[in-house]
Amino acid sequence: MIRKNSRNAITSSRHSAWKIAEEHGVDMSLIENNLRISPIKRIMRHEMARHALIMLSTAGRNLNDR
């Protein structure tokens, strides 16, 4: 059973964590924007970025091997 005060405390702690993150330089707008898109779309974007990093890493190694 959640008492009204407990629920407010949970909400308050979430807002506190958000504020603390902002104060430590975290760009919370990036998190907000990511949460607006579907999990599938986030996974697709992650995979595209991962693939790009692998390709760049491979290209860098190939340049160093010359």
Distance from C-alpha of 1 to C-alpha of 56, rounded to nearest angstrom: 53
**Are 53 and 60 within 8 A, CB to CB?**
no
Domain ranges of the chain: 28-66
Whose CA is closest to 47, among 61, 39, 62?
A: 39
pLDDT at 6: 56
- pTM for the model: 0.55
Q: What is the pLDDT of residue 63?
A: 84
pLDDT tens sequence for the chain (66 residues): 444 555 555 566 667 888 999 999 999 999 999 999 999 999 999 999 999 999 999 999 888 887
* 37 DSSP assignment: S
